[in-house]
Amino acid sequence: MNDAMADVYSSLASVLEATEFPDCDLALRRGRHIDSGDAALYSYLKDAQDHLEIFYRRFGCDLVFRNDGYYYLLPTGDKLRKKHLSENSMLVGQALALLYLDPTTVQVGGVVDRDQLLSQLDGVLGTDALIRAFNPKRRRYDERVAQGNVRKKVSAEVRRLASLGFVELLPDNAMRLRPALLRFAEPVRGLAAPAESLAKLVASGEVVMRDEGGDDLSDEDLDDGLDGFDDVDDVDDVDDGFEEEPENRPEPESENKPEPEGDED
């Protein structure tokens, strides 16, 4: 048992009676990652960790702490519903992880903007592949309109990742990268050049993130209405500048049908 916890919480009952518990519990169940940026909740988890590990195990979950400095809840059974991140969320998350691993990002306090994220995606995937990644069912497009649509959809994914504690949204389309982004770098952790290896995975379309136990990253229902990025109520309803492919329909029969030949008199 943690010495600090022994001083603060003498029992599970005292942990559950703490004022921080409701907010902390809801955040964890929604899939949020909690780090030192969430000062009160992070301190609470440090003090109550041993008790809460036993508590969440009863719900078929592991309270996980990573040495990178964050907590999250990992469902291991079927008592809490799992909801997997989409491929687009994974793609944006891995691009953000590349920025997090970039030494120049550390020099500016871990703050980047949406244009830097888009440049990272474009540099790894290429412009055409980036457009098609966010519009997989379309072929022909107007590049200017399609580029604008990609920006809106990337912003929507960033807002989704922010609700899970991967980034902190700031004014003017900026964001502060948080340590939980390193979950997206798990496939290359321990390699000599993790950033380069992760870039190759993203470029090759390998956007599956696994936990140490082999479980996909999961999240619960997410909160909407986050500020800092352009609001996108439904990314599927955005004008994307693409033309629908014509359907393969049978050609209509000609109206000028030849008259059937009759018997000659």
Which amino acid appears at position 193 of this protein? A
Q: In this structure, are residues 215 and 74 in contact, taking their beta carbons and an 8 Å threshold?
A: yes
Q: Are 241 and 153 in contact (CB under 8 A)?
A: no
Mean pLDDT over 153-176 rounds to 95
**pLDDT, position 127:** 86
What is the band of 205 on the pLDDT scale with cuts at 50, 70, 90?
Answer: low
- Is the pLDDT reported for residue 59 higher than 50? yes
> Lowest-confidence range among 35-44, 102-111, 183-192, 256-265?
256-265
Mean pLDDT of 90-102: 92
Q: Which residue has the higher pLDDT, 201 or 103?
A: 103
8-75 and 87-208 agree in CATH topology: yes
Q: In which band, very low, low, confident or very high, does the pLDDT at 237 lie, cut at 50, 70 and 90?
A: very low
Q: What superfamily in CATH does domain 87-208 come from?
A: MukE-like family, C-terminal domain (1.10.10.2260)
Yes or no: domain 8-75 corresponds to CATH 3.40.50.11240: no
Q: Is the confidence at residue 210, as pLDDT, over 70?
A: no
Tokens 């990272």 belong to 120
Beta pairing partners, 35:
70
Task: Among 57-66, 94-103, 216-225, name the one with the lowest average pLDDT.
Answer: 216-225
pLDDT of residue 199: 73
Mean pLDDT comparison of 83-92, 163-172, 177-186, highest-scoring range: 163-172
Residue 173, pLDDT > 50, answer yes
Where in the chain are the domains?
Answer: 8-75, 87-208
Which of residues 239 and 14 earns the better pLDDT score? 14
Rounded to whole angstroms, the Cα distance separating 262 from 240 reads: 57
The mean pLDDT of 220-247, rounded to a whole number, is: 38
Kindly tell me the burial class for residue 21, based on how many C-beta atoms sit within 10 Å of its own C-beta (0-12, 13-18, 19 or more).
middle
